[in-house]
Structure 1
Amino acid sequence: MKLSAISVIPLTFFFVSVLHRPSNCQQQYIGAAVTNCSSASLSSNGYLCNDNPQSQCQSFMSFRSIPPYDTPSSIANLLDSDPSSIASSNNFTSIGETIPSNHLVIVPVSCSCSGSIYQHSATYTVTRGDYYFRIANSTYQGLTTCKAILGQNYYDPEDIPIGVRLVVPLRCACPSTNQTQSGFSVLLTYIVAQDETIEEIGPRFGVSKETIMKANMLSNHSMIYPLNPILIPLKLEDCRESPGSFYCSCPDGYLRVSGLGHFLCIRVPGKKFPIKLVVSIGASIGFGCLCLFVSAYLLYRYLKKQRSNNIKKKLFEQNGGFLLQQKLASFRSGEKARIFTREELERATDNYSKSRFLGQGGYGTVYKGMLEDGTIVAVKKSKAIDRERIDQFVNEVVILSQINHRNIVKLLGCCLETKVPTLVYEYIPNGTLSQHIHQDRNFSLPWEDRLRVACEVAGAVAYMHSSASVPIFHRDIKPSNILLDEKLASKVSDFGTSRSVPYDKTHITTAVQGTFGYLDPEYFQSSQFTDRSDVYSFGVVLVELLTGEGPVSFARGEDERNRVANFMTMVREDRLGETLDHRVANEARKEDVKAVAMLAMRCLRLNRKKRPTMKEVAMELGLRNSQSLLQINQEVRSMRDEPFQHCDEIHQEILDSTSFSLYTESGSIPR
């Protein structure tokens, strides 16, 4: 489908509006879309991330008790919260106290920005009769939507297996800068009850009607619906002035205690420290310890060993060890990844010394290390330990465990005994393809190496799509994720966002993730990622190999910032030579450059169905590479024009496609 020049403008503004993070106080009220499982609205997945500099914050949710979720413990298990915090916030006597039915319970949770959406992740075990709509609106009472659950789980909505654990993204938000400046330090996701109005809700939490309406972008004529969430901004109160508030604190010198349905602040009197008594007790204890030294030492050794085993077991579970075992068990056995100990990796990296630092990506920090047998490795240490990043860690191990290809970075093993999960890869010494074509223009890659690298990467991605035990979508193909070894052979890396896909599926539906300039426009619109989405990203890489410039260049004028669109214009006007990198222009044969340029244009077609498969791309590049090596000093007129019979037909379509994807001047979507 071709887009006219006029139609590109509204599409472009569509992207800007979708990606815009609310910098003021408002979050759009979802309304009736909460019950629509096929809603196309991005807000149905959750509240959009705003300009809050912190990616994680404290938040609250409302929940009405109903069996079997009628104790702080059972509610905490459902919403992935802390039962003690629930009991304290609601003035319950214990975590096992039975709560009257339909009683409003305030649940403290941790809220984080995932991609462009705020969410708090919980897990739910499917029982007989469950389906996504019922789970969202009955079990979780509207704190999530069936579309949000469907976006993070890949089970058939009509036949969810009993006993599986679903990832349930719950709606939450962090206060914006304007809200923080106004004194609001936390947001409460409140589920509206039947016949409830904002005028009734506000006084319950000491918030004005105008504040709630502004936070949810509502007007005086707006309607609110039952089982629909609204955001209520809260200020931290003094318990002495607001004893009935669940969100209050006491000043220094006072102790916060609960009683009679509210909180009190009690002054703690100071006491003179009894030095003589302490000295006498210390001497007695010292003498007794001396007599029992041997017994105490043996007991200490035993307890230390037990404690160490308990910590390792806890960290193993925390780092997704059981989930990893479960997922790997469903694949055929092959070469097993090695399980490293924490001490081994600390010795290998000199305790993660700054001198061993190699780089940092969206999912972790990479260090160079040397194992005891002399093997040089790259150690990737994750940034955080929240549930989302644990899932990404497990996902990367599972994906790489299924792959055995010379042009894909090899996973040597992992470590599950550290506070954050750690992966160990083969060490690739020559940096990234991006460094070789962008940072040092005087010593950039020769044309022959560029063509060979393109051929190798295409073959690796084609292997993932067509030949792996389970098809795999990479989802973030770009030069900075392509490593070069000592012989400049390419290695595709960074599988944190990759996904394996069942053979009977043609796409996956997820929140949009990736890097601007490399994103498939259809994926951006529909959130549906296919194998042709990887083809689009690879087409942008081909353009970079030809021009030596990234997809967006802020060093140029506004009309030339979109380097891929500029490249397409040059091709259409038969001025391809003006946009080529100087090494490509000086070293490459005209027919090779033209063939690769037209292949890139086919990969970048707006209609993904008209793009070639990665297998077709790899075959064409392999043929071109072989011809270039065998006939580097010859003119092959008979084959020169064959790939370009329909060049004019796709020029305008590719130009529209590229402008559509690269209009924004941002760098990468947050992950």
Structure 2
Amino acid sequence: MIYLWLLFWACFNLSYAQQNYDYSECSADESFPGSRYTCNSFKNSCQTFIVYRANTQFQTLSDITALFQINSNEVLHLNKLTSSTEILKSGREVLIPINCSCSGQFFQANFIYTVPGNTSYSYIACGVFEGLLKPHLLSTENQTQENGPKIGSKLHVPLKCACPDNISVSEGVKYLLTYPFVEKDELSLLCEKFGISLEDLCAANLVVPKPTVYPTTTFLIPLKSDPNITFDITDSSAPPTPGFLPTITIQKTNKVKLKILYIVVSVVGFTLLLVALLACGLYVKALRKWKGGRIQSFNTRSSTQVSFSTPRSSPRSVQTGHSTTNSCLSPDLLAGIKYSLSGYSLEDLKKATKNFGEDTKIGYQTYKGMIDNVEVMIKQMRFEDTRQAIDVNSKINHINIVSLHGVCYGDSDFSWSYVVFEFPKNGCLRDCLSNSLTLLNWHKRTQIAFDIATGLHYLHHCIFPTYAHMSVSSRNIFITSTWRAKLSSIETNHAVGSSKGSDILAGLKACIAPEYLFNGSASEKVDIFAYGVVLLELLSGREDIDGKFLKECIGFLGGGGSEGGCFEQLRSFMDPSLKEDYPLAEALCLAVLAKACVEDDPSHRPSMGDIMKVVGRMV
């Protein structure tokens, strides 16, 4: 998994060492891209700088330089100071020169810290060293210190840093300064403080312009000359000091008049409260009476007719001459159903689908048709599965998942039923990719990838119980007239952890995760595997029939080939209909992401939240 993240440096193909910005808090217990800066250049070491801020523990330049084991006289001029013992204002920034070297896969500046008293790795990393490294890294580097740091022990402290590569030197970037954010820091102020452009700053940290940044995280500052901080830059959005606030003279109010006013306001308020309580009681009583009448009326009619009204069309009735047990919808099926669903007759559906003709068939037991001038998708399913389908879809309300319109049971054959969904105008994603006349450009494809991820994230995290879709494929993703993607609805109950049904994922061999074939339990990671397959289809335009072809095509991302060869193979993998009208760096990002999603080991696949962070930067 690590080598996949190392490939992300090429995602934007810029002219200096590129590193991810780590959004996680300093105290986070795990490593994220950007938690450390990778050695992705030919330089093994360099001289660079970090920014440290004066605080109550380190108030003078002498105190701060002692922490970093350097001579304070050597940095007086650099920090525009005349004395190393001058008490600095809390938060005053100090430039510290460091030697940054490549150790294994990461750059780091090595220091020794002597533990003065009872403390923790979190306090040392996030407090003493102000977020210039993460606690879990400090703990890992000092594994001999059992049960935390001991008083008097010497800790190895690898601070975050980075060196420009050979290309960045030719472009004029001389240093990559490590800057820890504090509250109210903004990129515009940072640019003004160091005299750099916003574009260069964002590109060096792989963020979009105007990103959200967080305290105790770090940024790399690309400098083309020796660092020179403009210390008098202030936040113009900060409120004015109290001395400049306007003052208003308030005259003293007569105490007697004030007391009378309090009494009047109290009486009026109490009266209004009583009136409000009385109105609420009358409303609740009337509502209960009305509901009782509705229920009684409904129970009287349920033996012969069940009707659903919908704002999309006029009320429909599904009638039957059979007994209550043979009605199209039994009363116990109504639990959990949205009352906006329509009840369709079988004649309605036959008319809409030309008697379920082959030319209206769009998938396994799935047809398209027109009802009341609205295009719909009609799915045939077993009678016993219908309740589950309605129960699940009645809980779902999301723009990236097709909505349920209604239901119908056969007039005489009660082993089958029909569930009616919306049908987005442009049909399924597979047809859009296969049709050479469809103008599915790069922007539309990245938006579709983001829409699919958003819909799956909703199912995995935003409803209760959480669900795995378990049928994600380019044939089960539909495209609207505005080229937005919608997942086909969940037809049966795939609550996370439940076992598979007999026909689940039928016909979707390419999208079946390996672990599903062994244990068969519903899992978010199964959806993520399928998402990776769809992502590869979006990139290449080709359909993976056996589940191996596309994975083999991206074998060049394993890191064995040269950089130039990697890009050439990526170009040959991309959909020819794009005509190379796409950002090569973004294409590489999505290819690397797709490869991570289709890892055989589910623990190596990213989460849906991680996927949204990557794809969200491209839309």
Fold shared, TM-score > 0.5 on shorter chain:
no
TM-score by length of 1: 0.40
Bigger proportion of residues as helix: 1
TM-score by length of 2: 0.43
Structure number with bigger Rg = 2
